Structure formats: C-alpha cells, structure tokens
Structure 1
Amino acid sequence: MQSTNDIKNTDQKTLDHKTLTKSFYLWFWGALTCFSQEHMQTFGYMASMLPILKKLYPDHDDQVEAIHAYTAFFNTNPMLGTVIVGITASMEEARADGQDIDGETINDMRAGLMGPLAGIGDSLIDGTLIPILLGIALGMSSGGSPIGAIFYIVAWVLIAYFGQRFLYFRGYTLGSRAVNILVGAQGAAIRRAIGIVGAMVVGGVLASWVNVTTSLKLRGADGKVFLNLQSKLDSIYPGLLTVLITFFCWWLMSKKHVSAIWTMVILVVISFVGVLVGFFNPGLSY
C-alpha cells in the first residue's frame, strides 16, 4: 500500500464542472447519510468526495489511499458547512497536482473549520433564518390558509439549494478565503443584519399570535365584580401578561439554559395550575 505522499501525480489534473456538481449533489442530498452519534456526517462527506477522487486519481489504489483522509469524524452545520466540502475539493485538486498537501493537512483544515462554522450556521440558519420564514408563513396562514405552508416549503427548498450551491463553488474557487468571509468582519456584519431582521419578525409574530390574558375577577358580597384584573392590566400596560411570559421563556432558555422542550412543559404546568385556581379560563364547555 502506498503512503499518502506517494500518490502518483504524473499529469496536472483539473476538476471539471460536471464532477464538482455531482459532488455537490451528493453532499446536498446525503450530508446526513448513515448519521450516527459515532460518525455524524463522516459517511455523507466521504460520499461527496468520491467523484472528486475518481476524477483526480484514475488508479484504484490511489483512490483507496486518498479516501483515508475522510474517514475521520466530521460534524458541522449541513448548510454553512458546504463551504468546507468545496474547499476540500480545491485542496484535493492541489494535492493531486503534486503540491505540498497531504491527508493530515486536509484533516486539520476540516477539524479546524467544522466547529466555528457549526456555531455560526446553527445560530444563523436554525436560530434566525428558519424563525423568520416561519414567522412570515404564520402570518400568511391566518384563517387556515395553506399559502403559508406552501410558502415555507418553497422558500426553504430554494434557499437551501441555491445557498449551498453558492457556498460549495465559492469554497472551491476561493479556498480558505471563503471562510474568512463567513467568520470575518463581513460575515459578522451580515449575521448582525440578519439577526436584527429576525428579531423584528419574531417580535411581529409575538404581537400577532401570542395573547396571554387572565380571567380573574373579584366579586363583592352582592355578587358584583369590583375588580376585573385584565381590564386593570390593560389600562396600565396592554399585553403585559404576554410580555411577562415572553421574558420568562427567554430567561429560562437564555439564562438558565433550559431546553425548549422543558420550557414548554413548564408553560403547560403553569397553564394547568392557572386554570385550577381560576387565573386562566380556557373557554372550554362540556
């Protein structure tokens, strides 16, 4: 078996657009192929590199040797991490042309980038972009309209496809400079702008869809209501209970690091107790 540095590099080799496109599609559709806690995205990554290696190394033994660089653990944000696959294709092309790049260099690059891009991608995609799309879709679904669901599906598919395709080929073209755009000053400005838009959308969804009110009323000996708590709260600060519940959820998840699932469980318990003591009225009739 040849060592990594002994892979034959007789002619200059260049990846064509067809090979790169096939590699991209294998990542796009199979990034989470054979996903497990032990390997995460390793096998999806290896699958996306197969067309690259077959194109660059016609000899089967060279292909087997080259693929060893991609057997190490890999896990990142599937969308933003696409740029790493593109960079890898560029590095593999340089290695096949005889440049001073080996499997360890490629692995070091992957290991160094997958963590930062996972953090940026999870906050940017899962924490910002998806809530923005869902907020818009909810607004379009008022009255039971299916337009909101259709909008979300179409918008997400288009953004995921064209966004990942752009990142893949940008990573191949720019190499490590593509990462500098994502994690540098330009990337920080873009993330901040998207975050501001996301906060506006989430705030609009909160004002339109969340409405927490109390049914608590105090009556006198004659049975007449002398204190309607909701009316008093509305005269002081309309929507006060909604704001308090929102900040309570934010405090649980942001400051106490309570998961979203447990936060929902806590809200269910609060609602149940509130109904029992008469603070909330679900409006149910039997």
Structure 2
Amino acid sequence: MKKLSKKALNKSFLNWFYGHLTCFSQEHMQTFGYMLAMLPILQDLYDTNEEQTEKMQTYTAFFNTEPQVGSVVVGITAGMEEARANGEPVDGETINGIRAGLMGPLAGIGDSLVVGTVIPILLGIALSLSGGGSPLGAIFYILVWNIGMFLIMRMLYFKGYEMGGKAVEFLVGEKANAIREAIVMIGTMVIGGVTASWVSITTAFKMIGSNGEVIVDLQSTLDTVYPHILSALFVLLCWWLMSKKKMSPIVVMLLLVVIAFVGVLIGFFDPGLSY
C-alpha cells in the first residue's frame, strides 16, 4: 500500500503557499500553482516519468479560488491521489469534479473571511500602531499576516488530506451556506466599524448674517440629525461607483481628489483640515 511521506506533503504545501499564483493569468488563474503543489505528491506516489506525466494531466484544468482557504482543496486532492495510486475507484474526472465543485464555495467563504474580515481588522490595528510615522504598524502586519496565514493554510491543507472526499459534503452543503452567510455578516460589521473609525468627512459650510453672526452651521446641523452622515455618504458613494458602475479604485480615488479640490474652492470643505 502506497502512503504519502511527510516530506512530500510538506513540500506540496510549501509549493502551494508561495507558488499558488505562479504564472498567474486570466486564462489559467491558479492552474500552474496547483500543478506545482501536486508535483511532489505525484513524484512520491508514482515511480516513472510516464506515470507522473499522465497523472499530472488531471491538474491542467482551470482552477481558481481564494488561495488561503483554498489550501484545503489541495490537501483533499492529495488524499484522493493517494487513494487512486492504491487502486481505489478514483479517476481524474472524479478529482476534477471535486476541484471544480469546491472552487466557488471556498472562494465565497475565503473572500468573506480573509479579505472582508481578517485583513481589515489587521490593517485597522496596524494603522493604530503607525501613528506619528512609527514602523510598528508595518512590522505588525507583515509578521502577523504571514505567520498567521502560514499556520492556518498548513492546518487546512493537512485537514483536507486527512478528510479526503469526506470534506466535500461539509464544504458545499447547507452548513457551508450558513457559515458563508455568517462570515459575510461579520465582515460587513467589521467594515462598518473600520469605516466609522478611520473615515471622517466634515464640511466647513456656514451661512453668515449681515452682522457677522453664524445663522446656519451645516456640520452642527447634520450632527444633530445624523452624526457622521457625510462619512457614511462618502463610503456609499465609493461602493456605488466601484460595485455598480464598475469603476476601478484608481479612477475613484482621482474622482475624490477632484471632489475635494472643488469642495475647497467653493468653501464646502476647510483646506486646513486633514481628512
């Protein structure tokens, strides 16, 4: 009976950890990174180059998912490849079917959890530590992100290997939908909290009477009705432009510069304030 060595599994994981975006393109996405991760597995299970080449054809199919959470897929297919090498009823079509079936659900979970929740939290902490130009924020983010993701990805890889095909039902079933919805909700709350903490838009617009008395202070009026409403509208505008109008972040930033410039010229924003 063939059994994958710890060395092969560790090398496979490391290949995925640093190489999942190898030769990344719109046509292939993470396909070549996946093949790189499966290379030590095939070399450990099959003796001849012909066998290894034949089995590698399974992994030439298109693949793309969230790379951190997606580590579990690589682990699952490593376990399935081991089963195939031992003569179990597992073929390339079965493996590719599972890979294709897991791509979407894991991308949804990973994007909500990693991109929508973990990264904003870490960046919020890093920004707090970077006050006054301190390098602690950058050091914190680099260390925590890389070490944390390494450990999490490794755990997911080996858990996928241990579970093999049994992981599929859990990852694409009703439990996965519930997990994904919960993560999206948490991620939305985190983004809202980070926005409230770090985005501050105020107006300097005031109506002055003939005797020099302030008749209307727009910012004070807005604060009594809806505190930080300009900040909320600013965030919603950016979301609308990028999500609904499909504008790139660079174009949106340039548009915001124009809005700020015009706002200062007409007296809506105070040029002495930093936003």
TM-score band, normalised by shorter chain: 0.7 to 0.9
Report the RMSD for the aligned CA atoms in angstroms: 2.4
**Distance of aligned partners of 1:241 and 1:189 in 2 relative to their CA distance in 1, 3 Å threshold:** same
Calculate the TM-score normalised by the size of structure 1: 0.84
What residue in structure 2 maps to residue 129 of structure 1? 118
- For residues 159-170 of structure 1, the aligned pairs below 5 Å read 159-170=148-159
Matched residue pairs, number? 273
Of residues 215, 222, 240, the one that matches 1:226 is: 215
| 1:195-227 Cα deviation digits (max 9, x unpaired) | 555445434433332211111122233444332
**d(CA) in 1 for partners of 2:262, 2:148:** 43
Gaps of 5+ in 2: none
**d(CA) in 2 for partners of 1:174, 1:49:** 17
| 1:59-97 Cα deviation digits (max 9, x unpaired) | 221112111111122211111111111111111111111
**Distance of aligned partners of 1:277 and 1:121 in 2 relative to their CA distance in 1, 3 Å threshold:** same
**d(CA) in 2 for partners of 1:189, 1:146:** 39
Does the residue aligned with 2:215 lie in a helix, a strand or coil? Answer: strand
Using the aligned pairs only, state the percent identity.
62
Do the aligned partners of 1:132 and 1:198 also contact (CA within 8 Å) in 2?
no
Do the aligned partners of 1:139 and 1:205 also contact (CA within 8 Å) in 2?
no
What residue in structure 2 maps to residue 64 of structure 1? 53
Do the aligned partners of 1:75 and 1:114 also contact (CA within 8 Å) in 2?
yes
Do the aligned partners of 1:132 and 1:201 also contact (CA within 8 Å) in 2?
yes
Does the residue aligned with 1:124 lie in a helix, a strand or coil? Answer: helix
Do the aligned partners of 1:141 and 1:148 also contact (CA within 8 Å) in 2?
yes
- For residues 40-189 of structure 1, the aligned pairs below 5 Å read 40-184=29-173, 186-188=175-177
Which deviates the most, 228-237 or 60-69? Answer: 228-237
- For residue 239 of structure 1, report the CA deviation from its aligned partner: 2.4
Does the residue aligned with 2:84 lie in a helix, a strand or coil? Answer: helix
Which deviates the most, 107-116 or 176-185? Answer: 176-185
Gaps of 5+ in 1: 1-11
Runs (4+) off by over 6 Å: none
Task: Find the structure with the greater CA-based Rg.
Answer: 1
Do the aligned partners of 1:136 and 1:201 also contact (CA within 8 Å) in 2?
no
Does the residue aligned with 1:227 lie in a helix, a strand or coil? Answer: strand
